[in-house]
Amino acid sequence: MDVDQTHKPHKAADIDGAYAWTRLAISVLLATIGNAGMWAVVVVLPAVQAEFGVDRADASLPYTATMLGFALGNVVVGRLIDSIGFWRPALLTSLMLGGGFVLASLTTSITQLAVVQGVLIGAGSSAMFGPLIADISHWFQRRRGVAVSAAAAGSYLAGAFWPLVMPYGIEAEGWRFTYAAVGVFCLVTMVPLVFLLRRGAPSHAAVGAAPGARRVRPIPVSPSALQALLVVAGLACCVAMSMPQVHIVAYCMDLGYGVARGSEMLSIMLAAGIISRMASGFVADRIGGIKTILIGSVLQGLSLLLYIPFDGLASLYVVSAVFGLSQGGIVPCYAIVVREYMPASEAGRRVGIVIMATIIGMALGGWMSGWIYDITGSYAAAFLNGIAWNLLNVTVMTLLLWKSTRPVVAAG
């Protein structure tokens, strides 16, 4: 737990109080800016491929490296915030992110760009997802689900903002100038915002004294086993989730609708995902994280199934919106489950590990769907593969729901 006492002592009133909501607003803004690294590399991919004269697979290496750096960073930074608090690791990663964009604009090969993307930009973005979610969870009790979901929505807001504004810079000045400009913008905005979050997380005593305080819920599963089950669930749900998110544009091209229509469907997914994340937070505050994940996972599986028979243009717009509304709240709820059933002092590393599993699931699912398409010549089997992984997630969460309702027998 954070031992930083830069500001006034923590009180029970801080929990769910005015400062908590102010901190949440700053955190959402930080996440919107700081998750630029996850989307910028996708936007510049065509320009990078053309300049370096490489094939599409090699041009995708910077994206893969970014995902790996982001996944590992969630675990490393998560461990750091458990011991020294949020703002110092966040400051370091913000400097890495901004500097990484500037350095990437000077690279002379696709290999150099991939290294910078993974080591600086991917890892630099990591503090603004899992670790930020874990940090904000300490400041809320009654509205923890809403707060966690709002903080997680920052990544989708970034996905709506950066791909919208970056093409103007690329068209006018090129991808290198745009990357450098994004880096400078991140530095001049994120560093001051991070300094506004120097107040250390509330102590365990303050949390326990807060109105409506919730203790760690008992469950007849060891922390290690619960962590492993959440990792499996997170991996499985995101393998399924990646199918439409990664391949919807290519799917629309195959159907003859073009890149623009596919891009619009992706935007609809992300916009609906923001709504889903906020709604899931309200639901989780009332019925708990496990039940909320289970509901979202069942709906995600059903919406994946709808993609197979409904491939008309209008139908795909509707199904994409339904898919976004179904899946957007799943990932943040893993952090809620961690806080409900595990000690607060372990939140950073526990959430980081689960978030890493979800990121690996997205990367694995995106590749797997393409591989299945190459073998079968169709995305139908890839959708069925996603549904199968989704059933694994439903199975794990059903098991946890059953376990959570059983009485815990004290040892001895």
Q: What are the domain boundaries of the chain?
A: 12-209, 223-404
Report the range out of 16-25, 149-158, 337-346, 359-368 with the highest average pLDDT. 16-25
| Amino acid 378: pLDDT | 83
Q: Given pLDDT bands bounded at 50, 70 and 90, which one contains residue 124?
A: very high
The second-level CATH assignment, the architecture, of 12-209 is Up-down Bundle (1.20)
- With 80 as the cut, is the pLDDT of residue 359 above it? yes
10 HSE (CA, 13 A, CB side): 25
pLDDT digits (tens, 9 = 90+) for 12-55: 557 889 999 999 999 999 999 999 988 888 788 778 888 998 87
Q: How far apart are CA 281 and CA 28, in angstroms?
A: 15
| Amino acid 379: pLDDT | 87
| Amino acid 390: pLDDT | 96
What are the helix (H) ranges across 223-346? 223-254, 259-287, 289-307, 313-327, 330-341
Q: What is the mean pLDDT of residues 109-121?
A: 94
pLDDT digits (tens, 9 = 90+) for 297-352: 999 999 999 999 988 999 999 999 999 999 888 998 998 999 999 888 888 889 98
Under a CB-based contact definition with an 8 Å cutoff, are residues 139 and 14 in contact? yes
Q: What percent of the chain has pLDDT over 90?
A: 50
pLDDT digits (tens, 9 = 90+) for 191-242: 999 999 999 888 654 444 445 555 678 888 888 999 999 999 999 999 999 8
| Amino acid 213: pLDDT | 52
Query: 223-404: which CATH topology?
Result: Growth Hormone; Chain: A; (1.20.1250)
User: 228 Cβ partners below 8 Å, 6+ apart?
Assistant: none
**Residue scoring higher pLDDT (269 or 92):** 92
User: 148 Cβ partners below 8 Å, 6+ apart?
Assistant: 133, 136, 137, 140, 281, 284, 332, 333, 335, 336, 339
| Amino acid 171: pLDDT | 86
DSSP run (H or E) holding 365: helix 347-376
User: How is residue 194 written in tokens?
Assistant: 């991070």
Centre a 10 Å sphere on the Cβ of residue 281 and count the other Cβ atoms it contains.
25
Q: Given pLDDT bands bounded at 50, 70 and 90, which one contains residue 1?
A: very low
- 29-43, 124-138, 176-190, 198-212: segment of lowest average pLDDT: 198-212
| Amino acid 176: pLDDT | 95
| Amino acid 12: pLDDT | 56
Under a CB-based contact definition with an 8 Å cutoff, are residues 155 and 332 in contact? no
Q: What is the mean pLDDT of residues 365-370?
A: 82
Q: How far apart are CA 318 and CA 381, in angstroms?
A: 21
**Equal CATH topology for 12-209 and 223-404:** yes
Does residue 36 come out as left (phi exceeding 0), alpha (psi in the -120 to 50 range) or beta? alpha
- With 50 as the cut, is the pLDDT of residue 411 above it? no
User: How is residue 89 written in tokens?
Assistant: 């690791």
Q: What percent of the chain has pLDDT over 70?
A: 92
Secondary structure percentages of the chain, helix, strand, coil, to 5: 80, 0, 20
| Amino acid 258: pLDDT | 81
Q: Given pLDDT bands bounded at 50, 70 and 90, which one contains residue 101?
A: very high
Chain centroid offset of residue 27 CA: 14
Q: Given pLDDT bands bounded at 50, 70 and 90, which one contains residue 190?
A: very high
Q: Taking all residues of the chain, what is their mean pLDDT, rounded to a whole number? A: 87
User: How is residue 30 written in tokens?
Assistant: 């930080």
| DSSP states of 125-164 | HGGGTHHHHHHHHTT-STTHHHHHHHHHHHHHHHHHHHHH
**Residue scoring higher pLDDT (367 or 138):** 138
Q: Given pLDDT bands bounded at 50, 70 and 90, which one contains residue 10?
A: low
